[in-house]
């Protein structure tokens, strides 16, 4: 490990470019035991917190750091992956025990443990804890985490919680932020404070103000609120797919800047199980086809966004049973509602989307029969699959047509 320690000493001034207001929040509150970082989409709260954890591991020695979420699958695909990506991006050496989910940076140990069973951490002591998507946790989880901050440290041991403020009556608001003591500091952030966002993403967030003001306040401005008029309520989270089922189908929503999403749907009578197979941005169709070859059986039916016939044709020519979907939104939502829905716990993006998938409201607050069009890629994939189920269709064959280039 000497080579690693020498590397870290030589590169202790690595510029991780933490967004200014986050950097100030962390450095100005080193004497606080609890930091609550809440905000809207695109504010950079999780990314900056991961950078902060890495900086502490570079600047300090012999520390034990816990990174946690409610479930292990969610923790793996979010925080663990983010940490690995950042360490690779900055070319910082680290060691990872994949079976134990323990990472070492120099003499510092970073553990990735979920809180679905709080007994996992009851005998442990830490210097620093990062709890991502903290609204998933219970108040008892929070109290248990604070009890774990008792390892000897020359600085203040600290718990950092990052979250979207979707419910103004959540215990984080009522029992932590509304009754703060000297040990607690908070930061509200939003997309306007993040200089690294693309113009397209900013326009998408700002467009929410015209669609649904309450949704805009919560998911863009990062203000506490209450999401009303949610579309789906009859769902839960489970830890495995059934082995005994009547049928399996797939729903596919195309994207590029937005993620391309593939969901597996298993059906048994009036119940369905949904699992996120692909949720990835910047996928070309060739890359998507390679992933399909790797992840699914060619003989199953895939129902894809019918607005992309050329992409459907390419997937069909690659040997997959892919069909254009039924696009009627209301019909698709009603088909999904006919089933009791079970979502696999590692389908973190699907879970995040369904928790905020709601009906649009007009300026007078009247509910419209149209969902808010934001962060709904998995929602689209799910309704494509179920709306098209048992619908007679054929793969789209795209004729060779001379393009109309218009006048330049």
Domain co-membership, 261 together with 380: yes
**Residue 61: predicted pLDDT:** 93
**pLDDT score recorded for residue 340:** 94
pLDDT of residue 7: 54
In a domain, 156, yes or no: yes
pLDDT at 15: 62
Instruction: Tell me if 290 is assigned to some domain.
Output: yes
For residue 406, the model assigns a pLDDT of 32
The C-alpha atoms of residue 146 and residue 162 are separated, in whole angstroms, by 15
Q: Could you tell me which residues come within 8 angstroms of residue 266 by beta carbon, excluding any fewer than 6 positions away?
A: 241, 242, 245, 247, 248, 272, 273, 275
Question: CATH no. for residue 267?
Answer: 3.30.420.280
Both 357 and 245 in one domain: the answer is: yes
In a domain, 203, yes or no: no
Write down which residue in 164, 193, 222 finishes a domain: 193
* pLDDT value of residue 266: 97
Q: Say if 216 falls within a structural domain.
A: no
DSSP 375: S
Q: Is residue 396 domain-resident?
A: no
Q: Based on the domain organization, do 243 and 177 belong to the same domain?
A: no
Q: Are residues 114 and 262 in the same domain?
A: no
The pLDDT value recorded for residue 303 is 97
Spans of the chain, pLDDT less than 50: 1-3, 12, 391-408
> Are 31 and 90 members of one domain?
yes
Q: 278 and 365: one domain?
A: yes
Residues 6+ apart with CB under 8 A from 318: 289, 292, 293
> 166 and 20 in one domain?
yes
Do 262 and 185 reside in the same domain of the chain? Answer: no
Query: Is 225 among the domain residues?
Result: no
Diameter over CA atoms, the chain: 72
What does residue 150 show for φ and ψ, rounded to 5 degrees? -135, 15
In this structure, the answer to whether residues 166 and 257 fall within a common structural domain is: no
Residue with tokens 């998408």, as numbered in its chain: 204
Kindly state whether residues 173 and 263 are assigned to the same domain.
no
247, 145: one domain: no
Picking from 193, 212, 227, the residue at the C-terminal end of a domain is 193
pLDDT tens per residue across span 303-324: 999 999 999 999 999 999 999 9
59 domain-assigned: yes
CATH code, domain with 14: 3.40.50.300
Tell whether 151 is covered by a domain: yes
Q: What 3-state class would DSSP assign to 408?
A: coil
Task: Give the per-residue pLDDT at 324.
Answer: 95
Residue 40 contacts by C-beta under 8 Å, 6 or more apart in sequence? Answer: 164, 189, 190, 191, 205, 218, 219, 220, 221, 222, 223
pLDDT for position 87: 95
Same domain, 174 and 255: no
Amino acid 396: pLDDT = 42
Full domain range(s) for residue 375: 235-388
């Amino acid at each position: 490990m000497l080579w690693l320690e020498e590397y870290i000493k030589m590169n202790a001034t690595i510029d991780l470019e933490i967004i200014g207001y986050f950097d100030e929040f962390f450095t100005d509150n080193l004497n606080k035991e609890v930091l609550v970082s809440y905000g809207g989409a695109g504010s950079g709260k999780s990314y900056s917190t991961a950078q902060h954890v890495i900086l502490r591991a570079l600047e300090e020695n012999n520390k034990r750091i816990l990174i946690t979420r409610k479930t292990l699958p969610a923790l793996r695909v979010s925080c663990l992956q983010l940490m690995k990506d950042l360490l690779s991006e900055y070319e910082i050496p680290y060691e990872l025990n994949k079976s134990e989910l323990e990472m070492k940076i120099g003499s510092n140990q970073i553990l990735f443990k979920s809180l679905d069973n709080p007994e996992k951490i009851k005998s442990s002591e830490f210097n620093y804890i990062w709890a991502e998507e903290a609204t998933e946790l219970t108040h008892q989880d929070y109290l248990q985490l604070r009890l774990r901050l008792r390892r000897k440290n020359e600085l203040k041991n600290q718990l950092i919680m990052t979250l979207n403020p979707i419910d103004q009556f959540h215990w984080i608001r009522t029992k932590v932020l509304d009754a703060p003591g000297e040990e607690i500091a908070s930061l509200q952030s939003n997309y306007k404070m993040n200089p690294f966002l693309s113009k397209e993403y900013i326009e998408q967030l700002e467009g929410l103000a015209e669609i649904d003001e309450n949704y805009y306040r919560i998911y863009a401005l990062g203000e506490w609120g209450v999401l009303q008029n949610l579309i789906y309520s009859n769902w839960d989270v489970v830890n495995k797919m059934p082995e005994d089922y009547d049928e399996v189908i797939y729903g596919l929503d195309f994207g590029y800047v937005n993620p391309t999403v593939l969901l597996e749907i298993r059906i048994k009578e009036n119940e369905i199980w949904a699992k996120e197979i692909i949720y990835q941005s910047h996928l070309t169709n060739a890359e998507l086809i390679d992933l399909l070859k790797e992840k699914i059986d060619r003989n199953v039916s895939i129902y894809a966004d019918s607005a992309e016939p050329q992409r459907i044709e390419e997937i069909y020519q690659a040997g997959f049973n892919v069909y254009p979907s039924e696009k009627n939104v209301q019909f698709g939502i009603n088909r999904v509602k006919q089933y009791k829905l079970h979502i696999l716990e590692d389908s973190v993006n699907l879970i995040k989307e369904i928790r905020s998938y709601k009906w649009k409201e007009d300026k007078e607050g009247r509910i419209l029969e149209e969902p808010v069009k934001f962060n709904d890629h998995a929602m689209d994939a799910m309704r494509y699959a179920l709306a098209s189920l048992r619908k007679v269709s054929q793969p789209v064959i795209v004729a060779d047509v001379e393009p109309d280039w218009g006048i330049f």
